[in-house]
Chains A and B, each alone.
Chain A
C-alpha cells in the first residue's frame, strides 16, 4: 500500500444524522477517507453502513451534517453531482434500471468528461470490458442479466469513470474468487493513482488484506475507528457485535449428539430440489435451531421459502411424521410450519394495520371462532403472543409501520408463536434490528426451541449463526457443502466453508459468462412489434377490400389517413408519459380544448389561424405543466391528477363552446387539408413527430433518462437521473402533443366541439398497449405506436364497410388491449425461465435475475 504523499482527503463526512420512521439510521457519524488508502466501513446488518455511503453518493438525503467531496463541503448532494465530482459507487444491489441496455446504463453512469459519443459507445464499451477481462454484450438488456453480471457491469462502469473516490458496498458478495482477486488488483491500481476507496464488507479477512483504516458502526453510531493493523481479527469482530459473544447469545440446546441422532426429527426434509437448490436433506429435532449459511444466492433462501410450502418443489417435507401433501403456503401452515420472510415490509407485515391485527392475523380462526369480531379475545391473544418479548409500542392499536425494526420483528415472532407452530422458518431474524432487541430476539428463539419447536434460521451473519445455532448447513450452488455441528459451529468455519466452496466452483469456470447476443430478442424489443402491426393493417385492409371494394376509394383512404394522424399523435403523447411510469387521462380533453380554441381563429385569415394554433399548443403545454406539478410536487397518483384536470378542461372547453361550431372558412380548410401525393400533410407531420420521438427515446441522453425513470425510479435516481424532471418533461410534452392532435382532428372535421375527443384517451392507451410498450414504464417504441395508430384507424373505418355496428369498435379495442397486455407478460416469464435455465446449467448458482425484484423495491425505499 503506498502512503499518500499529501493533500486533502478524498471524502469527508461530518456529523451525519439520518432518521427513518421508527429508526435512527445514523447519529452524528463522521468519517474521513484518505487518498491512496482503502477505508473499511464495518458493522452488522442495519448498522447504517449502506445509508452512510448512500448519503455520500447522493441517493439518500441526510437530515443534518455535511459531505466534503473534491474539496467542497455541502449539506446534500445530487447523485449526478457526486458522480461529476469523481465519486463512483457500486451498490450492494446493482442500481441499474432493468429496461435499459448495458451500454445505455454505462453511459448514464459515467460523468460528462469520461462519456464517449453514443455512436462510438458500444465499441468503446466492448473494448473497455475486454481490457477488464469481461465478456459482456453491451447491447443486452440489464433486466436479462444475472445479479452477478449486473454487479460486474456496475464495477466496470465505476472503473471507467476513473474515480477519485470509489465506494464499494459488499462488492464480493456476488463474486467468485478469481473475480475478487481481479477486483483487488483494480483497487490497487486506483490507489496508486491516488484515489480513495470506501469498502463495505462482512468479510474480516478481506479487510485485513486490503484496508488501511477502518470505521465500525453499530446502531447508527461510530463505535470504533483506527488503523486496521492495530486490531486483531477477534477484536474487530467484537467491535462489530458490540459485546462478547457470551452475553449476546443464550446457551445452546442441552441435547447431546447421541440424543440428537436417536430422537425422531420434528422436521424432516428429504431430497428437496427446485429452482436454485437440489438434493437437500435436513432433519431438525424439536428443541434445536439449525442455521442455513452460504454466500448470497446459493439456494439457501429459495430452500427456506420452499420449505414453507409455497411454490413448486420436488422431495418430501414431514412434520412429526405427517407429510406435506399440497404445495401451498396454506397446507404448510396447517401442518404447523410458520415462515417469517426476511423482507418484513414487503412480505410479512400488514403495515398500516395494528399490532393486534398483525399478531392475530394467522390465527383468525382462533380469534374469531364464531366468525365475528371479539375484541377482548384478540387483546388476550395478542398479549399471549407478545408475552416476554418486551415489545416497545404505545398501544396494541398502533400501526406496525411506526414501530422500530426490532419491535416489528417481535410482532412477527409473537404472531408465529400464537398458532402453536411445530416448525419455525426465520429469514434474517435480526436484519435492521438494534443491538438491544437482537439479544431479546435470540433469547426468544431459544426459549421457543426449548418449548419444543424445531427452528431453521437463515442468516447472512456468520457470527449470529455461530452464537445461535446447534447445527449449520453451508450452501454452495444449491447444495449443502458442509454440515457443522456442536463445537464446529464457528464464524470462521462457516465463512471458511462458504467462501472456500464458492472459490472451488469459480476456479472451475473462471471466465465470466457472456450474455448470448441473440438477434431474435432484439428484434422483439420494440420495432418488431411495428412489423406485426403493419402486417395486421395490410391484412385487415385486404380483407375489407375483398368484402367491400369501396374501402379503397381515394376519398375514404385519404379521410382515414388524416384521421389516423390524430391517433398517432395522442399515442406518442401517451407513450411519453407511460414511459416515465405515469399515465395521462387528460389526453382526450386536451384534444377537445385545442380544437375549440383553434375554431375561434378559423373564420379569418391565415395569420390569425396560425395564432390560434399556437395558442392551443400553449394551452396544451399549460395543462401538461399542471399535471406535472400535481404528480411530481404534490405526489398525487397520475391517474387521479389527470382525471381531475381532464374534467376541469372539458368544462373549460364547454364554457368556450357550449355548442359545436362550424365557422371555418373554405380557404383555411383547404389549406390544412393539403395532401402530398394523396397522403394528408397532417399525417406526414404526425409520422415526423413519431420518428423524432423515437430518435429521442432511443438515441439521446434525455431518452435514456426517460426510460430509466419509468423503469425503476429508485435505481434511476441512484444512476444520477433527475426523475422528477423526466416526469415533468413527459407530461408537458404530452400536453403539447395532445394539443397538436386536437389540431389534427380539426383538419379532418373543421368543427370545434368540446364533446369530441373523450374517446381518444382510451384510444391512446390502446395504441401504446398494442404497440408493446411496457405499461409499467421504461420501454416502448414510438414507431410501433404510430403503426398501432394506423391499425386502430383501419379498424374503425373498416367496420362500416364490413357492416359491423359501432359496438365492435369498442369490443375490438377492449379485446386488443387485454390480449396485447398479456403477450409481454408471457414473454417476460419465458425470458425469466431462460435466465433460470442458463443459471442452472452454465454459470454458478448466484444467478438471480436483477430485473423483476425492483418493482417491489419502489415503494419500500
Chain B
C-alpha cells in the first residue's frame, strides 16, 4: 500500500435519521396528510359528509378502489401501467353475476371462476410484456379489449343479477363497519408486509427499480414482472366480484369507473410512475381520499357528469401536486421553511 489508508477522523454515515424525519420521508405520509385535511374540511362543506352514515356508505367504494389500486401499484412498481383493470373489474363482476345466478354452478364456484379465469388475462399481459418487451400501455389496451370481448360473450349484451348470497355478503358489516373495508385492509396489510418485510418483496422492489441491474446481480426479473400483472388482474377481478354484490346488477361498463381512480390512488400515494419503490399503504390512503372526495362532491350534485368533471379536476391537481413535489421531502419542507434554492434545476426526463 502506497499512501492511502482511510482517514479515521471522517464521520461515518449513521444508520438512519431521527424517527420523525424518517416518518416524514415516507411516501405515504403526504397521502395521510391529504386524507386528514380532507376529512377536516369536509364538515365545512357538508356536515353530513363525515357522519357515521356517510362514512359507512363511503367505505365500501374506498375499499374497492384500494383493492384495484394495489394491483395497479404492483404493475407501476415494475415500470408498467395496467389499463386493463377496467376490463378485469367488469369481467369479474359479470362472471360472478351471470355464473353465480346459474343454479348449476352456484355462487362459490362462480366467484372462483371469476377471479381465476380473469387473472389468466393478467398472466397473458405479463408474459407479453416480460418476454417480448412490448410497451405495457399497448399490451394492456389489447388485453382489455380481449376481456371486454369475453364480457360480451358471457353476458350476451345484458346485465344479470348477482346471486343473493354475494349481495348479502358484500353489504354485510362487522363490528359496525362494512366487511369490504376489512377485506381491503387485509389486502393492504398482506401486500405491504410481503413487499417490505420479506426477501421476496425486496427482490420484487429491486427488479422494479432497475431490471437490468437486478439481472446482473443474479435476480431473474421476468417472474416478478409477470406476477405483477397477474396479481393486478386478480385483484381487479376480486374487486369486480365484490362490486357485483354491491351493485346487485352490475352494468357491462362497471369497471370503467375504476381505471382513473386506480392510477390516481397510486400517484397520490407517492409511488413514482417511473417504477421502483412503492407504498401500498400510500395507495390505500389515496383510495380513501378519492372515495371521500367523491362522497363530498355527491353532496353538492346528483349529476354523475358534474361529479366526473369535479373529480377529474381535483385528481389532476392532486397528481400535479404530488409529481411536482417529487419524491423528496426536501421540497415539501421547502414549501414551509424558506431556504436557499438548490442550485441545480434537476433536469427531468422529457417523457
Query: Footprint of B on A, CB under 8 Å?
Result: 19-21, 61, 63, 246-247, 249-251, 308, 310, 328-330, 332-334, 339, 341, 346-353, 355, 357, 361-362, 364-365, 368, 371-373, 379, 383, 386, 388-398, 415, 439-440, 442-443, 446-447, 581, 583, 630, 634-637, 639-641, 643-645, 647-648, 650-655, 658, 713-714, 717, 723-724, 754, 758, 762, 765-766, 769, 775-776, 805-811, 813-815, 817-818, 821-822, 825, 858-859, 861
Contacts and interface: CB of A to CB of B under 8 A. Distances in A.
B311 A647 contact: yes
Contacts of A713: 350-351
A507 to B, nearest CB: 38
B198 A368 contact: yes
B4 A637 contact: no
Contacts of A808: 149
Contact of A390 (B10, B210, B214): B10
B141 A361 contact: no
A329 B308 contact: no
A643 B261 CA distance: 10
Interface string B315-327: 1100110011001
The 5 residue pairs across chains A and B that have the minimum distance between CB atoms? A654-B305, A810-B149, A814-B145, A651-B308, A651-B309
Interface stretch (B52-60, B98-106, B273-281): B273-281
Given A371-B198, A775-B137, 13 more contacts: A330-B218, A348-B210, A350-B206, A350-B210, A379-B15, A390-B10, A440-B6, A446-B1, A637-B273, A639-B81, A810-B146, A813-B142, A825-B133
B200 to A, nearest CB: 7
B125 to A, nearest CB: 10
Interface of B: 1-7, 10, 12-17, 22, 81, 83, 128, 132-135, 137-139, 141-146, 148-150, 152-153, 157, 196-200, 202-203, 205-206, 209-210, 212-220, 256, 259-260, 263, 267, 272-274, 276-277, 303-309, 311-313, 315-316, 319-320, 323-324, 327, 343-351
A644 B260 contact: yes
A647 B349 contact: no
B303 A655 contact: yes
Nearest to A247: B3
B276 A347 contact: no
A303 to B, nearest CB: 16
A351 B276 CA distance: 9
Given A352-B272, A655-B306, A859 B15 contact: no
Contact of A333 (B205, B218, B344): B218
B204 to A, nearest CB: 11
B9 to A, nearest CB: 10
Contacts of A346: 210, 212
A814 B217 contact: no
B233 to A, nearest CB: 14
A858 B6 contact: no
A740 to B, nearest CB: 23
B277 A353 contact: yes
A817 B202 CA distance: 34
B316 A397 contact: no
16 contacts: A61-B345, A308-B216, A332-B218, A333-B218, A351-B276, A440-B4, A443-B1, A446-B1, A636-B323, A651-B306, A651-B312, A776-B135, A808-B149, A814-B142, A825-B133, A858-B350
B139 A353 contact: no
A813 B145 CA distance: 7
A815 B343 contact: no
A476 to B, nearest CB: 27
Contacts of B7: 390
Contacts of B12: 383, 386, 391
A372 B138 contact: no
B2 A811 contact: no
Nearest to B152: A807
B350 A644 contact: no
A608 B16 CA distance: 69
Contact of B305 (A21, A658, A810): A658
A353 B260 contact: no
Given A390-B6, A811-B149, A639 B218 contact: no
A861 B138 contact: no
A396 B149 contact: no
B4 to A, nearest CB: 4
A393 B276 contact: no
A822 B344 contact: no
A810 B16 contact: no
Nearest to A18: B344
A630 B316 CA distance: 9
B127 to A, nearest CB: 11
A362 B218 contact: yes
B308 A654 contact: yes
B146 A814 contact: yes
A415 B217 CA distance: 10
Nearest to A363: B217
A348 B213 contact: yes
A714 B273 CA distance: 20
B216 A348 contact: yes
Given A350-B276, A805-B153, A810 B198 contact: no
